[in-house]
Chain A
Amino acid sequence: MPGLHHIEVSPDVLERARNGDSDAQAYLYRTLSRPVYTLIRRFVVRPAIAEELLQDVFVEVLRNLSGYSGAGPFIGWVRSIAVNKALMYLRSPWHRGLSWLGADGVLSVHEEAASATPDPFDPDLERALASLPSISRAVVWLHDVEEMTHAEIAKLFGRTISFSKSQLARAHTELRDRLESPSGGLACMPISRNC
């Protein structure tokens, strides 16, 4: 299960990590790094940028543990930090400029798919997902895998519920088209597109 929402972290571990216990902090990283990194990779195609964002997320989480109120689920708090970091990157003129110039699309779908963990592996679905525009891919991931509601997604994106619904419908339409076309319709398709 790649979603973050299935993970639970005990209050004891959180308390120890909050007090600077390095073992507890390392445990948090071991527990959360794969699903957080996976979530980021669903937003951001380039592994190097995703890695930087992963580090940013954990630095922010660990530095602000004392400020975490405990009012909501800890995992939801971590997830919102990860999503916000990824969105900040996608919205940046830097990213848009790279997309415009094509420099952010140098990875092919096949390279992207190949960078996923190989087993168990559905290359067609992985490629179809990777070929979606960033925001559509993020919305379908948050809704279908992270099981977030449209209202929650809309809040994260600062948009309307209709935006979330239309992005999800668009993503599913494109996924269906690409999965049902004989060749997958993905040959040489750049994976990074304007969002």
Chain B
Amino acid sequence: MHADFQELLSLRAGEPLDAEVAQHIANCPRCGLELGRLQRLADDLSQLPQFEPPQHSWARIQEQMAQPLARRSRASWIYASAAAAAVVVVAFGVLWTSTIDRDQAPAGASGSTVAQTASRDQSVGRLVRRSQELEALLNSLPQRPAIEQAGTSATIDEIQSSIQMLDAQLSNGLQIDQTETERMWSTRVQLLNSLVYVRYGEVARYARPINTLDTGAI
């Protein structure tokens, strides 16, 4: 069996490698060829030209240095906006959940529109609570192993990225209608479910048995 990419990359970087694998690579023309290609690729990357910064950059840096804290760059505003958005998401979620919990059946509510809205609110409320339960379950799992399968790691990364993407969309929650909000929370719960399954499998493979873990409700 030929060496995989990670093994070849480890050998290229001079990292410790299983002796049997190292011996195979040394004697296998195909693996040797692949190793040489990886080395050439690193050399080629190092030879790529540098990007030239815009000519006015130094002048703008000097301007910012001369006006401490008077002007923030757009990138800084992006960080600040992101942080503010995150706070809004958390606050909105907490407020929303508590409101739904408190007002399960608004006094005097009548008519199909009101009933549908209330029903949708309850549905979203359930999804928000389910998200919180799944996140609590994920937090209760042991830490991820230092070494794991590349496929597992990539899958977890993909799911986490998708969840973060949804969170970014939900940060604009006040501008999204209830139907779309419900759909997004539903997707978030599904993604968290998938993440729990993958993480549970990872834990079962690499860590101590966790017989007490309750996944029956997933």
Contact = CB atoms under 8 A, between A and B. Distances in A.
Contacts of B172: 97
Nearest to B6: A169
B93 to A, nearest CB: 14
B48 A116 contact: yes
Interface of A: 1-3, 26, 29, 33-35, 37-38, 41, 47, 49-56, 58-59, 62-63, 85, 88-89, 91-97, 99-100, 115-122, 125-126, 129, 140-141, 143-145, 149-150, 160-163, 165-166, 168-170, 172-173, 175-176, 194-195
Interface in B16-69: 37-38, 41-42, 44-54, 57-58, 60-61, 64-65, 68
The 8 closest A-B pairs by CB, nearest first: A93-B168, A117-B49, A92-B82, A166-B150, A52-B75, A144-B42, A37-B53, A169-B5
Contact of A97 (B57, B68, B148, B169): B169
A2 B48 contact: yes
Contacts of A161: 146-147
B47 A120 contact: yes
Contacts of A35: 50
The main secondary structure of chain A at its interface with chain B is helix
A176 to B, nearest CB: 7
Contact of B61 (A55, A116, A163): A55
B45 A140 contact: yes
A173 B151 CA distance: 13
The main secondary structure of chain B at its interface with chain A is helix
Contact of B75 (A49, A118, A169): A49
Interface in B135-193: 144-148, 150, 153-154, 157, 161-162, 164-165, 167-169, 171-172
B208 interface: no
Contact of B51 (A34, A145, A160): A34
Nearest to B76: A56
B161 A38 contact: no
Contacts of A140: 45
Contacts of B145: 160, 162
A99 B46 CA distance: 28
Of B4, B46, B48, B82, chain A has the most CB atoms within 10 Å of the CB of B48
B132 interface: no
A100 B64 CA distance: 32
A99 B37 CA distance: 32
Of A35, A115, A169, chain B has the most CB atoms within 10 Å of the CB of A169
Given A97-B168, A117-B51, A169-B9, A3 B46 contact: yes
Given A1-B46, A140-B45, 5 more contacts: A56-B76, A92-B78, A100-B168, A160-B146, A194-B161
A119 B50 CA distance: 10
B11 interface: no
A93 B75 contact: no
Given A33-B57, A166-B154, A55 B73 contact: yes
Nearest to B5: A169
B50 to A, nearest CB: 4
A126 B45 CA distance: 9
B48 A93 contact: no
A145 B73 CA distance: 29
8 contacts: A53-B75, A56-B73, A96-B168, A122-B47, A129-B45, A166-B153, A170-B154, A176-B37
A89 B169 contact: no
Contacts of A94: 78, 81-82, 85
A126 B48 contact: yes
A3 B52 CA distance: 14
A134 to B, nearest CB: 11
B79 A2 contact: no
Nearest to B167: A93
A126 to B, nearest CB: 6
Contacts of B6: 165-166, 168-169
